[in-house]
Amino acid sequence: MRGAVIHAPGDVRFEERANPAIQAPTDAVIRMSATCVCGSDLWDYRGINPVNGPTPMGHEYVGIVEAVGSDVTTVKPGQFVIGSFFASDNTCEICRAGFQTSCVHREFVGAGGAQAEYLRVPLADGTLVATPDLPSDDLLPSLLAASDVLGTGWFGAVAADVKPGATVAVVGDGAVGLLAVLAARELGAERIIAMSRHESRQKLATHFGATDIVTERGDEGVARVKELTGGLGAQSVIEAVGTQQSMLQAIRSARPGGAVGYVGVAHDVTLPGEELFYSHVRLLGGPAPVRRFLPDLIDRIERGAIDPGRVFDLELPLDQVAEGYRAMDERRAIKTLLRP
């Protein structure tokens, strides 16, 4: 088969790779229906994360089950499935508490490289969720979004304790931040402040439910959120960037007794203990346990209640994956969808 391999920063190639096969009786192999490029892939592409030799890329996927191991019971060949970037047994104590991305048996599905024609998914029973029927083609982008960015934005909103009637602020206007806006709306937020300075992203944020746009960043952004919330700050803040500045902006935008859900992968972040102590702000974040939310998200998508697939503003054939990276790196695209 063919798939995307990064050789060095800025050097993503679509090339021949070995076909994945069942290695453990709990594995499945899927034929890719659609995959995409993640904001976190850009950390490698930009050389911020080291690239140690040729590495298969991609960890977001929807596809048709091609084969399953002998222990797999909940999905079967021919079914359309969605899974998360971490495989999980979905039965251990940590999974049962809803933190499947910290499953005691977790494996990074992306190690197999999802930007490819086929993908091996470990722990298929605990990882994959099948749709009731084969979905229509127009639902593919939204179902693919559920595999990571929607599930991650959703976890951000849940971790930030978004409740009906709440005032929410979202730091970050990438795909995850935009879908955190959608999640906040679905969870009943009354007011959603999106922090963005890009017009196309502001528009999408508004489409997803943002009621206010704040273009300022850092301390000025915080001051603007306070102004909009009677001087108190937001009840829930979702952080979807992962830098020192964005984390502090998120914490300082929350009111005492409020919560920050942080889902931007943290890079060189250190949090001031005293400030956090006196802030009375609750923190919860990390790699989103997308599996927890998948059945609900699939249901909302199939009912037409949400259209998270709109974050894909560029669609390319899989063999043009390199252009997909370039477009996102140059911020010409929010997120690139790839079809084999």
Q: Identify which range of 40-48, 65-73, 217-225, 281-289 contacts its own copies by CB under 8 A.
A: 281-289
Q: Is residue 157 within 8 Å of 134, Cβ to Cβ?
A: no
Residues 125-164 that bind its own copies (CB under 8 A): 159
Of 16, 138, 268, 330, the one binding its own copies (CB under 8 A) is 268
Secondary structure (DSSP) of 279-333: HT-EEEESS--HHHHHHHHHHHHHTTS--GGGG--EEEEGGGHHHHHHHHHTTS-
Q: What is the largest CA-CA distance in the chain?
A: 59
Of 230, 303, 304, 330, the one binding its own copies (CB under 8 A) is 230
Of 232, 307, 326, 329, the one binding its own copies (CB under 8 A) is 232
Angle at 119 between CA 118 and CA 120, to 5 degrees: 135
Residue 97 or 305 having the CB closest to its own copies:
97
Of 50, 53, 164, 273, the one binding its own copies (CB under 8 A) is 273
In the three-class reduction of DSSP (H, G, I as helix; E, B as strand; rest coil), residue 245 is classed as: helix
Q: Does 267 bind its own copies (CB under 8 A)?
A: yes
Dihedral of alpha carbons 209, 212, 214, 220, sign: negative
Q: Does 8 bind its own copies (CB under 8 A)?
A: no
Of 16, 52, 53, 93, the one binding its own copies (CB under 8 A) is 93
Residues 17-46 that bind its own copies (CB under 8 A): none
Q: Does 99 bind its own copies (CB under 8 A)?
A: yes
Of 118, 262, 293, 325, the one binding its own copies (CB under 8 A) is 262
The amino acid sitting at 9 is: P
Q: Does 188 bind its own copies (CB under 8 A)?
A: no
Residue 213 or 266 having the CB closest to its own copies:
266
Q: Is residue 101 within 8 Å of 147, Cβ to Cβ?
A: no
Residues 286-305 that bind its own copies (CB under 8 A): 286-287
Q: With 0-12 CB in 10 A as exposed, 13-18 as middle and 19+ as buried, what is 126?
A: buried
For residue 272, the minimal CB distance to its own copies (Å) is: 6
The two beta strands, 28-36 and 336-339, are antiparallel
Residue 50 or 304 having the CB closest to its own copies:
50
Q: Is residue 147 within 8 Å of 84, Cβ to Cβ?
A: yes
Binding mask 60-89 for its own copies (x = CB under 8 A): ------------------------------
Residue 273 or 304 having the CB closest to its own copies:
273
How far apart CA 140 and CA 144 sit, in angstroms, is: 6
Contacts of 267 (CB under 8 A, 6+ apart): 43, 48, 242, 243
Q: Identify which range of 53-61, 95-103, 111-119, 207-215 contacts its own copies by CB under 8 A.
A: 95-103
For residue 39, the minimal CB distance to its own copies (Å) is: 15
Residue 50 or 273 having the CB closest to its own copies:
273
Of 74, 91, 102, 245, the one binding its own copies (CB under 8 A) is 102
Q: Tell me the Ramachandran region of residue 115: left when phi exceeds 0, alpha when psi lies from -120 to 50, beta otherwise.
A: beta
Q: Is residue 308 within 8 Å of 301, Cβ to Cβ?
A: yes
Q: Identify which range of 19-27, 73-81, 120-128, 256-264 contacts its own copies by CB under 8 A.
A: 256-264
Q: Is residue 324 within 8 Å of 338, Cβ to Cβ?
A: yes
Binding site for its own copies (CB under 8 A): 93-94, 97-99, 101-102, 104, 159, 230-232, 235, 242, 244, 247, 255-257, 262, 265-274, 276-280, 282-287
